[in-house]
């Protein structure tokens, strides 16, 4: 089953098709950016307006640079801020997020749901 397209923006990055949308989170008052590849191997979520010191991206799908997935749990990694100063998400920022996620040369710091580093 492919990714749902209704109400979602489309984007092509390096010849690959992605969709994205922002909506309220079911479990919190946050707005969340959802980005998915057409084959659903790349699935990430990013809560807008996170504080810099605990900001993270949630990896839902199996495809993320430097990640070996051994189980079905979500994983969280520190990340840059993707929204603009006005708090909006643009196609350009989504493109940058996708490229950041798929590039191997960046350090990956895994964190827990509070944004604190995971101790292995």
**How many helices, marked H, and strands, marked E, lie in the chain?**
1, 7
Query: pLDDT tier at 3 (50, 70, 90 boundaries)?
Result: low
CA distances in angstroms from 23 to 26, 35, 46, 63, 103, listed in the order given: 9, 11, 11, 22, 26
- The model's pTM is 0.87
Asked if 55 contacts 115 with a C-beta cutoff of 8 angstroms, the reply is yes
Write out pLDDT tens, residues 59-98: 998 888 867 665 667 899 999 999 988 888 999 999 999 9
Domains of the chain, by residue range, sit at 9-109
pLDDT value at residue 103: 87
């Amino acid at each position: 089953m492919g990714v749902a397209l209704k109400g979602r923006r489309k984007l092509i990055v390096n010849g690959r098709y992605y969709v994205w949308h922002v909506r309220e989170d079911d479990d919190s008052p946050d707005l969340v950016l959802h980005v998915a590849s057409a084959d659903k191997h790349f699935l990430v979520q990013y809560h807008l307006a996170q504080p810099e010191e605990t900001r993270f991206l949630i990896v839902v799908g199996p495809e993320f640079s430097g990640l070996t997935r051994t189980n079905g749990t979500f994983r969280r990694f520190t990340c840059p801020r993707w929204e603009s100063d006005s708090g909006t998400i643009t196609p350009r920022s989504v493109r940058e997020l996708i490229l950041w996620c798929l590039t191997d040369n960046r350090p990956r710091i895994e964190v827990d749901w509070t944004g604190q580093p995971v101790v292995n």
